[in-house]
Amino acid sequence: MRKVPTNNQHLFYQPKDVWVGDVMPFGKDGTFYLYHQRDTRDPAPLAEGQPFGWSLATTQDFVTYQEHGTAIPHGGEDDQDQFIYAGTVYEAKGEVRAFYTGFNRNYLREGKTSQVLMQAKACSDDYATWKKTGVAAELTPQPGYDGRNWRDPFVIWDDDRKEYLLVLGTRKGDDPSKTLQTGRLVHFTSKDLEHWQFKGDFWAPGLYTMFEMPDIFKIGDWWYLVYSEYSDENKIVYRMSRDLYGPWEKPRDDAFDGRAYYAGRTAFDGSRRILSGWVPTRENDDDRANWLWGGSFMPHEVYQRPNGTLGVRPPQSIRDAFECPDAVPDIELRGDHERTECVITENAGEIFCFEADVTFRDACDFSIRAYKNLETDESYEYRFDLDANRLSFDKSPCYKWFRVMDKGLWRPVWLESGRSYHLQLIVDDNILVLYLDGTALTTRVCEKFGHSLAVTVTNGELKLSNIALAKGLREQEK
């Protein structure tokens, strides 16, 4: 087996020799403007490394990207915005504007307020050139809140109240160890984007150490509050309400993905709402190690189910980017008290899209095995445990225990015998993402055992129909 470089993807976006951090997406007229941080990890991620600003890449299909370089540069060693942490890009009064978090690690060491909201305005038609307009003086950390954690602002127009709403993540009081679960969203309102009034807590459920990357949008009659948290399950989750100010209801499945997809925000281009998050890498490129901040950008398209809950799927343009699929006959497997396996292909390659309609009988277990070695039987495996209502990711066999630090690499699923479900597996080198009827589970792998793709079933019957296996990407037009 061999180790895998960290940015050898052909589909999911990661510029050479950098790791993509938080993405501030802005959508307009079919184009997505992806303002993002580029971390060099020199010598380590985030505040232990080199300062960064916001760079810009644009795309219409999430397959081809146009580079625009640095949009908002970071400041100097003594400036408030030594690092430009996350913020929001929005359009108002005929202008495209940004609020961002200015962070200075020296201020943190000196006991000064280290995180302050700052402003900028786009001054070119392609939104690639920006002018900083300074500290947002009325949006500084408020008394009683944690000035070391005051970040990730988001702005939305409240049409009912005819005012702007700004929410951001913070903590309560003085708790340097971050053991108290005082994470909350606070909010300001403004009629003109210049004068702001602090309104206190927007949502403070007592569930998390910190809220990151809040996002609010409306589809139909439902408002959605999206955020990331790193003290419970370390993932992107959401709540829903009939009113912008709550109460915020928890859906049965409140996440968009698993542990290996973080800091996502959505943007709407007029027809698609896309969640823009990043897939982290592993410490020392070891499956058994913890995740590192930053990695590769990956989009999910968000859609609303009939009951108002949200699901995700790959943008159709990503599916269309693959070569014409190979014809694969239907597969029927039965394993009464044992595992039965079928090798779909002995050489799926390292970038492919596999799709099938899946039906099963009884509460069987079934799985998809990728990068399988036919001689050693080693592979990575997405496993559906229907008794536990659980989709998980691991190595198979998981010997010597354990082979993957899999905490958080699972999703809840509720599947019914006899019903058909559409399954999609997209593999782009060391990034794998599986979709099943709106549920996604993404991961990054550090080894490749072989190139076979297989399906298994245990304790029941499984049928795969309408199978499509597309290997490689089409040549893109210049």
pLDDT of amino acid 223:
99
**Three-state secondary structure readout of the chain:** CEECCCCCCCCCECCCCCEEEEEEEEEECCEEEEEEEEECCCCCCHHHCCCCCEEEEEECCCCCCEEEEEEECCCCCCCCCCEEEEEEEEEECCEEEEEEEEECHHHHHHCCCCEEEEEEEECCCCCCCEEEEEECHHHCCCCCEEEEEEEEEEEEEECCCCEEEEEEEEEECCCCCCCCCCCEEEEEEECCCCCCEEEEEEECCCCCCCEEEEEEEEECCEEEEEEEECCCCCEEEEEEECCCCCCCECCCCCECCCCCCEEEEEEECCCCEEEEEEEEEEHHHCCCCCEEEEEEEEEEEEEECCCCCEEEECCHHHHHCECCCEECCCEEEEEEEEEEEEEEECCCCCEEEEEEEEEEECCCEEEEEEEECCCCCCEEEEEEECCCCEEEEEEECCCCCCCCCCCCCEEECCCCCCCCEEEEEEEECCEEEEEECCEEEEEECCEECCCEEEEEEEEEEEEEEEEEEEECECCCCC
Per-residue pLDDT tens digits of the chain, which is 478 residues long: 344 445 678 999 999 999 999 999 999 999 999 999 999 999 999 999 999 999 999 999 999 999 999 999 999 999 999 999 999 999 999 999 999 999 999 998 998 999 999 999 999 999 999 999 999 999 999 999 999 999 999 999 999 999 999 999 999 988 888 899 999 999 999 999 999 999 999 999 999 999 999 999 999 999 999 999 999 999 999 999 999 999 999 999 999 999 999 999 999 999 999 999 999 999 999 999 999 999 999 999 999 999 999 999 999 999 999 999 998 999 999 998 899 999 999 999 999 999 999 999 888 899 999 999 999 999 999 999 999 999 999 999 988 888 899 999 999 999 999 999 999 999 999 999 999 999 999 999 999 999 999 999 999 999 999 999 999 999 876 5
pLDDT of amino acid 124:
96
Domains and CATH numbers, the chain: 2-319 (2.115.10.20), 326-471 (2.60.120.560)
pLDDT of amino acid 6:
54
pTM across the whole model: 0.96
